[in-house]
Amino acid sequence: MMDFDAVIRTIRDIDAAELEHWIAARWVRPEREGGHYMFHDIDVARVHLIAELRHDLAIEEETIPVVLGLLDQLYALRRRLRELGQG
């Protein structure tokens, strides 16, 4: 678990305003505890992914929801396949 500031420190190239914006857009959904955000490991990894998509890959802001939506569906399928494989 990490708080907001720790995430900013851990992941290069993002600032507080940007992360606030991503949370508001619900691209990343940390838990809220008493007015503070708490990021699980998966949330931190997702922030990292979004940072890479936006900055390294130069994907436009309005395109990000499309990319994330497709990725979420891809991973839902892969999770389900994995579950079935274990059956």
The residues binding another protein (CB under 8 A) are 10-11, 29, 40-42, 44-46, 48-49, 52-53, 56-59, 67-69, 71-80, 82-87
Considering the complex, state which of residue 3 and residue 48 has its C-beta at the smaller distance from another protein. 48
Angle, CA of 27, 38 and 79, to the nearest 5°: 55
Q: Are 50 and 28 in contact (CB under 8 A)?
A: yes
Query: Residue 49 CB, nearest distance to another protein (Å)?
Result: 4
> DSSP letter string over 21-35?
HHHHTTSS--EEETT
Query: Residue 73 CB, nearest distance to another protein (Å)?
Result: 5
Considering the complex, state which of residue 13 and residue 20 has its C-beta at the smaller distance from another protein. 13
